[in-house]
């Protein structure tokens, strides 16, 4: 998966998803051989030559300026996350010196303290590849109560939330709108893949998911990009039944992020979460790292 092929594939996919009527281009009832906009139509909207845009989409040009990329993003009607993704792909494509591999991820002392403070709120710490680095007692009970009750060690055994969403039946059944959750996971992974093009572990994960899940492969080929910092999910928990949670990602720049799940005060969902907290006592589900983890969640 080179940056060059990703950039071309992304441009072609998004161009095919944009209909002429969406951007005010009349078709006069003509039959079009391919869906979406033609290259020359997209180039006209972006204010660049058709030959230049064709070279860019075919990976034959390495010189797209930020201004040109912004113009193409505007023509494709990309949102802020998609526009940032386009720029990331273009940077990968340009010749540059060898970049350092991403450093191993770990939970800082400050993040560990935050996890302790959030004892009454389900919280998990996720790495850039969606590896679970840590979780508090309630976070484990809500998101993965069927697994070992801590972020497993060594790191190679850590559960991975993307893998669980696509390959683990328990996690799949947790979400009433599983396709929506799955698309959010894929969209987030696309952003990370463009930001960390030399992360071999990430590309290994993407290859595994594509091989083992036809649904993941189909969603990945759709080239949708999504930054999911706040999302509402209806969950069907095996212990406390249905509940609606708002999942929020608390991040301060690069590095692991804390994901928390909150419920509306006085709602049946808040009552279900309280019941879940009572059902999993500290003596049965201790917080902190565990030493083993099931292979299904290995990263």
Mean pLDDT for 247-256 is: 79
Given phi > 0 = left and psi -120 to 50 = alpha, else beta, which region is 259? beta
What do you get for the CA distance between the two ends of the chain, in Å? 19
Q: Which tokens belong to 96?
A: 């540059």
If you average pLDDT over every residue of the chain, what do you get?
Answer: 84
What's the confidence (pLDDT) of residue 252?
66
Residues 186-228: pLDDT tens digits? 999 998 888 888 889 999 999 999 999 999 999 998 888 877 7
What's the confidence (pLDDT) of residue 96?
52
Residues 57-98: pLDDT tens digits? 887 776 788 899 999 999 999 988 889 899 888 887 665 545
What's the confidence (pLDDT) of residue 6?
81
What's the confidence (pLDDT) of residue 98?
56
Residues 121-164: pLDDT tens digits? 999 999 999 999 999 999 999 999 999 876 546 666 789 999 99
Most confident among 102-106, 111-115, 260-264 (mean pLDDT): 260-264
2-11, 35-44, 142-151, 161-170: which range is least confident on average?
2-11
pTM for the predicted model, two decimal places: 0.79
Domain coordinates in residue numbering, the chain: 3-93, 109-297
What's the confidence (pLDDT) of residue 151?
53
Please, are residues 53 and 43 in contact by the beta-carbon 8 Å criterion?
yes
User: Is the pLDDT assigned to residue 2 strictly greater than 50?
Assistant: no
CA distance 161 to 134: 12
CATH code of 109-297, in short, is 3.30.450.180
Sequence-ordered list of residues with C-beta below 8 angstroms from that of 154, at least 6 positions apart, any chain: none
Please, are residues 103 and 14 in contact by the beta-carbon 8 Å criterion?
no
What's the confidence (pLDDT) of residue 106?
85
- The fold for domain 3-93 equals 434 Repressor (Amino-terminal Domain) (1.10.260)
Percentage with pLDDT > 70 across the chain = 84
Answer yes or no: same fold for 3-93 and 109-297: no
SS3 label, residue 192: helix
User: Is the pLDDT assigned to residue 100 strictly greater than 80?
Assistant: no
Alpha-carbon torsion angle 128, 132, 136, 142, nearest 10: 110
């Amino acid at each position: 998966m080179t940056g060059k092929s990703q950039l071309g594939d992304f441009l072609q996919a998004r161009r095919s998803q944009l209909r002429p009527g969406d951007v005010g281009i009349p078709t006069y009832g003509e039959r079009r051989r391919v869906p979406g906009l033609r290259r020359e139509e997209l180039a006209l909207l972006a204010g660049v030559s058709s030959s230049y845009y064709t070279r860019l989409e075919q990976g034959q040009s390495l010189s797209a300026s930020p201004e040109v990329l912004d113009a193409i993003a505007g023509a494709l009607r990309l949102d802020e996350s998609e526009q940032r993704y386009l720029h990331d792909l273009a940077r990968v494509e340009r010749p540059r010196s060898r970049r350092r591999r991403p450093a191993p991820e770990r939970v800082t002392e400050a993040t560990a303290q935050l996890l302790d403070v959030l004892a009454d709120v389900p919280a998990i710490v996720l790495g850039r590849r969606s590896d679970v680095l840590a979780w508090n007692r309630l976070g484990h009970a809500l998101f993965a109560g069927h697994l070992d009750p801590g972020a497993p060690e060594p790191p190679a055994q850590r559960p991975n939330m993307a893998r669980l969403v696509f390959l683990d039946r328990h996690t799949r059944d947790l979400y009433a709108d599983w396709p929506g959750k799955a698309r959010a996971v894929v969209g987030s992974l696309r952003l990370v893949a463009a930001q960390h093009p030399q992360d071999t572990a990430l590309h290994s994960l993407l290859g595994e998911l594509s091989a083992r899940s036809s649904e993941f492969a189909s969603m990945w080929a759709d080239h949708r990009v999504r930054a999911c910092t706040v999302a509402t999910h209806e969950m069907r928990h095996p212990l406390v039944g249905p509940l609606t949670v708002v999942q929020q990602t608390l991040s301060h720049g690069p590095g692991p992020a804390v994901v928390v799940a909150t419920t509306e005060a006085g709602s049946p969902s808040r009552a279900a979460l309280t019941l879940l907290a009572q059902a999993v006592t500290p003596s049965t589900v201790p917080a902190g790292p565990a030493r083993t983890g099931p292979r299904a969640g290995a990263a």
